Structure 1
Amino acid sequence: MRKMSVKQSVIACSLVSMLSLTACSSNPTTTTGDTGSTSSPAPGNKTITLSVITSDRFLELAKQKYEALHPDTKINIKEYAAAPQTAPQGQAQGQGQGQGQQQMMIMQKPDPKNTEKYASSVGAELMSGKASDIIVTSGLPYQKYADKKLLENISDLMSKDASFKKDNYYTGIFDAMTYNGSLYAVPIKVGLNMWLGNQALLSAQQIDDSKWTWADFKKKASSMIADKNNDGKPDTYPMGKIEPAELVTSMLNSSFSKFADVGAKKAKFDTPDFINMLKLAKSMYDDKVILADNSDPNNVVFQPKGNVLMYTDMYTMPKMNFEGKGGYYNLPSESEAKGTQFTSSLPLAINSKSANKKEAWEFVKYLLSDEMQSARELTGIAVNKTGAKAQIDFLKTLGTGGEGGGKQMKLMINGKAATVQPATEQDVAAMEKILNNVSVYAENDLKITNIVAEETAPFFQGQKSAEEVAKVIQNKVNTYLQE
């Protein structure tokens, strides 16, 4: 069977669609831009506004359920950009219970321009005191606003709320997102930054991915390069194709705080550590560690685009790559914090100037509840342990005639069928091991990431030295941080 690129990770509207779950869509009553509530609340009612780049089915479902439970509260989802279009990527077949054929969909990444526009708009609203009650902090330097006392201390809200049981959550995720000892943005769901590795080729390698650095990876990778037919071109590459901008961004985000302290407004790019990191990144291309353009993409040891965005990714992707012998590995890092890295597409902050802080916290808490974290519409990795168990247990029903549906479930990839079997206890244990190790926030600031990606291009093209590039980045990031 032809392998599926990890870049084609099955997310949101892919296996969710296959399993007859609710399709990704926004409720037509969602407002776009600064238009306010769709209807005037009755006297005595509260309207809680949530700012988000793009709404999704999970938020719409939560709004619907919460308003039914709290008739005196309305949730207004303030959407700044329309949902990105999805594209067909194949077919999923379910044989039994009328499952029928459905198209598998690939969710596109949010447009960076929309993210930047959102961050600029919400930042201005926060500074002017006109921000929504709840804010998705994706793309925002939330530390900056926390320092200005514009965001509520969520750690205090958690500790003072007897109904909130922090032990019910993967606290390593919360701890990783603290700033100055407190949580100002709480992730409702996360995605995991991991590589998919060919375990058949890695079985002889002694790899401790719990604490390896990028230099460790380069050393290991050099020993994996093979030219069995002596044609001067490797038959096996340690890493799949990745563009220099993506590689340096991945290296930066794995150790972001080492090079940029947003809260302290201090850049640390004009340093030996960053300069050496750039040289290390370029050496991976020079030394043929990374797949060349004209090489077979199947002959790689690690796929660098192994973001785990859903439980179905975590379960199915290792089985769909490397002849079913794939396994997940933590990314290398330069920071002292070790563990599985994560990001969040739905980190929420509460506006400290809001007149509805109590009600805002109640809605955030509902999004973190067992009920909502167990919902199929979550389309992410749950931060609630009960929710995670429900999501994983669902994988055990695939093709059994249970909730997963049908006698047999198949994915159609490039015209060929791959049968999806129910998850075994061994599969479940492997997933739970990963989840219990999630503890490193792959922090990033969109503006800083863009500066680094753009300014390092001349270095990879051989036009500037690493030292010259580091100075330019240092100056630009410092200017940005002082704004």
Structure 2
Amino acid sequence: MLNIPTRKPSVAICSLASILALAACSGNQAVPPSSNPGGASADSAAKTVTLSVMTSDRFLELAKQQFEQAHPNITIEIKEYVAAPPAPAAGKGQNMVVMNKPDPQNTEKFVSSVGSELMSGKASDLIVMNGLPYKKYADKKLLENISDLMSKDSSFPKDNYYTSVFDAMKYNGALYTIPVKFGLNMWLGNQAVLDNAKIDDSKWTWSDFKKIASGWLTDKNNDGKPDTYPLGKIDPAQLVTTMLGSSFSKFVDTNGKKAKFDSPEFINLLKLAKSMYDDQIIPADNVDNVIIQPKSNIMMYMDMYSMPKMSFDGKAGYYNLPSENEAKGTAFTTSMPVAINSKSANKKEAWEFIKFLLSDEMQSAKELNGFAVNKNGAKAQLNSLKTLGTGEGGAGKGLRLNLNGKELALQAATDQEIAAMEKVLNNVKVYAETDSKITTIVSEETASFFQGQKSAEDVAKVVQNKVSTYLQE
């Protein structure tokens, strides 16, 4: 649990890291130019490394620019499938940027296009595997073993990284896609209530959560509605996929190409999810009086620092999500898992670019917009929070949040707050795995159960059949 004093907002908190990124270019140190600026040497012909990504961002563009400066014989060609939407105009007094979720249709388009390219041998040298089933392609020998590249490269300082993050993404003992950054799967809760409940969020299950949360339900004015809801509004599809994400390997054996959705465990998980709505653990509509905010993915250092300051009247803390998995530790996701096409003619150059993405320079860049996997980068990112309100490090003076007329000036983070965040980051060990196709199947097919049209058993059979068919493709 991370304990940072907070204040409570009446609207959702959005990602704030992009605010500081505006000054990032001037704050980053340029990578030294190549020692051979005159052109390619006799044994180093000009190469073009292609990179497929659904939507590019400022981090990739900056990495391309600085890598090409340091490697004049290598061109990085970013192949973007969906252009980024224009940034919304900030309202008066609102120093914040809204980060939109990817359109499912765009994700499907990207996954389908890149999947076809991989199968036909025409894929890019590098692929950002968002939504793509990397284990499936690893089985087909279409992705390079990155663990081998690491072990054979004496210039790659493996100890400089959160190796538990790498280990969590291994498949059959090897990395086939490597996270350039990650986000945390945690809940933000009212610490005054949760501490009194004496929960152990290092090992609680969804059943544990419901049992504890049921004790928070009171109706003092006898209007038939709880005075306070344990969890804020969350749609059934999001709830069931969140529950699945925390326990993916329990229901999907990708290695054996077996689904386990017709198991008593999944059927009971569905029933438990529905009971949270039936028993008013989760409200049908948006309400202010909640004990836990349902936002579970913390994407950036600025989020981690600022969001608690806007919640629960200064008594907020971060808590791990419940899980049905045996693996323990804080769960994470990644918005930039990079793989190397095993058919690539530029594997050496592709690996060099990955190393650059993981370097101290790039991992400390404000454009990263995520948690660094590089420990030196993480230290630099955390230390930048100590300059808030000072005008140093691009942080600027007078950086303020203004929500519904309530203003909060962000002050410099204390050593105690930094240490609390470091403690959480050192405990990140569980990959909240996802497969866009399986997630879609589960979301769509379980809707009829939550609407009372089908039994959990019937829905589980349909999900089992569809996922099994998909895994055998």
TM-score bin, normalised by smaller chain: over 0.9
In structure 2, distance between residues paired with 1:406 and 1:73: 36
Residue 433 in structure 1 maps to residue 423 in structure 2: yes
In structure 2, distance between residues paired with 1:233 and 1:184: 50
What is the aligned partner in structure 1 of residue 435 from structure 2?
445
* Alignment check: 8 A CA contact 2:24 2:394 kept: no
What is the aligned partner in structure 2 of residue 348 from structure 1?
338
In structure 1, distance between residues paired with 2:14 and 2:101: 12
Q: Pick the aligned partner of 1:196 from 188, 193, 196.
A: 188
In structure 2, distance between residues paired with 1:323 and 1:239: 17
Deviation at residue 408 of structure 1 after TM alignment? 3.0
Pair 1:10–1:90, CA change in 2 (3 A): farther
Residue 76 in structure 1 maps to residue 98 in structure 2: no
What is the aligned partner in structure 1 of residue 289 from structure 2?
299
In structure 1, distance between residues paired with 2:437 and 2:96: 33
What is the aligned partner in structure 1 of residue 60 from structure 2?
59
**How do 1:303-318 residues align onto structure 2 when only pairs under 5 Å count?**
303-318=293-308
In structure 1, distance between residues paired with 2:212 and 2:88: 37
* Deviation digits for residues 268-327 of structure 1 (CA, Å, limit 9, x no counterpart): 10010000000000010111101232x6x2211111113111100000000111122221
Residue 277 in structure 1 maps to residue 282 in structure 2: no
What is the aligned partner in structure 2 of residue 414 from structure 1?
404
* Deviation digits for residues 344-392 of structure 1 (CA, Å, limit 9, x no counterpart): 1100000111111011000000000000000000001100000001001
Which is further off, 280-289 or 401-410? 401-410
**How do 1:31-110 residues align onto structure 2 when only pairs under 5 Å count?**
44-88=45-89, 90-91=91-92, 103-110=95-102
| RMSD of Structure 2 on Structure 1 (CA) | 1.9
**How do 1:165-184 residues align onto structure 2 when only pairs under 5 Å count?**
165-184=157-176
In structure 2, distance between residues paired with 1:49 and 1:175: 27
- Which of structures 1 and 2 has the larger relative contact order (alpha carbons within 8 angstroms, sep 6+)? 2
Contiguous gaps of at least 5 residues in structure 2: 1-6, 27-39
Which is further off, 256-265 or 105-114? 256-265
Pair 1:261–1:12, CA change in 2 (3 A): farther
What is the aligned partner in structure 2 of residue 331 from structure 1?
321
Residue 16 in structure 1 maps to residue 8 in structure 2: no
Deviation at residue 21 of structure 1 after TM alignment? 4.1
**How do 1:128-167 residues align onto structure 2 when only pairs under 5 Å count?**
128-167=120-159
Q: Name the SS of the counterpart of 2:88 in structure 1.
A: strand
* Deviation digits for residues 140-165 of structure 1 (CA, Å, limit 9, x no counterpart): 11111111111100001011110111
Residue 241 in structure 1 maps to residue 233 in structure 2: yes
* Alignment check: 8 A CA contact 1:90 1:415 kept: no
Deviation at residue 432 of structure 1 after TM alignment? 0.3
Q: Name the SS of the counterpart of 2:9 in structure 1.
A: coil
Deviation at residue 88 of structure 1 after TM alignment? 4.1
* Alignment check: 8 A CA contact 2:8 2:312 kept: no
In structure 1, distance between residues paired with 2:371 and 2:211: 32
In structure 2, distance between residues paired with 1:60 and 1:431: 28
What amino acid maps onto 1:78 in structure 2?
K
What is the aligned partner in structure 2 of residue 217 from structure 1?
209
Deviation at residue 227 of structure 1 after TM alignment? 1.7
In structure 1, distance between residues paired with 2:16 and 2:428: 19
* Alignment check: 8 A CA contact 1:209 1:330 kept: yes
Q: Pick the aligned partner of 2:218 from 211, 226, 231.
A: 226
What amino acid maps onto 1:10 in structure 2?
S
Pair 1:375–1:406, CA change in 2 (3 A): closer
* Alignment check: 8 A CA contact 1:141 1:262 kept: no
* Deviation digits for residues 366-422 of structure 1 (CA, Å, limit 9, x no counterpart): 000000000000001100000001001000000023225444321111232111111
What is the aligned partner in structure 1 of residue 465 from structure 2?
475
* Alignment check: 8 A CA contact 1:88 1:103 kept: no
Pair 1:207–1:66, CA change in 2 (3 A): same
Residue 256 in structure 1 maps to residue 243 in structure 2: no
Q: Name the SS of the counterpart of 1:63 in structure 2.
A: helix
- Relative to the length of structure 1, the TM-score reads 0.90
* Alignment check: 8 A CA contact 1:4 1:320 kept: no
In structure 2, distance between residues paired with 1:405 and 1:53: 30
Contiguous gaps of at least 5 residues in structure 1: 24-40, 93-101
Which is further off, 41-50 or 429-438? 41-50
What amino acid maps onto 1:408 in structure 2?
G
What amino acid maps onto 2:402 in structure 1?
M
What is the aligned partner in structure 2 of residue 382 from structure 1?
372
Identity of aligned residues (%): 69
Q: Name the SS of the counterpart of 1:207 in structure 2.
A: coil
* Alignment check: 8 A CA contact 1:85 1:107 kept: no
Name the count of aligned residue pairs: 452
Deviation at residue 203 of structure 1 after TM alignment? 2.7
What amino acid maps onto 1:215 in structure 2?
S
What amino acid maps onto 2:441 in structure 1?
I
- Relative to the length of structure 2, the TM-score reads 0.92
* Alignment check: 8 A CA contact 1:53 1:118 kept: yes
Q: Name the SS of the counterpart of 2:225 in structure 1.
A: coil
Pair 1:196–1:89, CA change in 2 (3 A): farther
What amino acid maps onto 2:310 in structure 1?
M
Deviation at residue 91 of structure 1 after TM alignment? 4.8
In structure 2, distance between residues paired with 1:198 and 1:325: 6
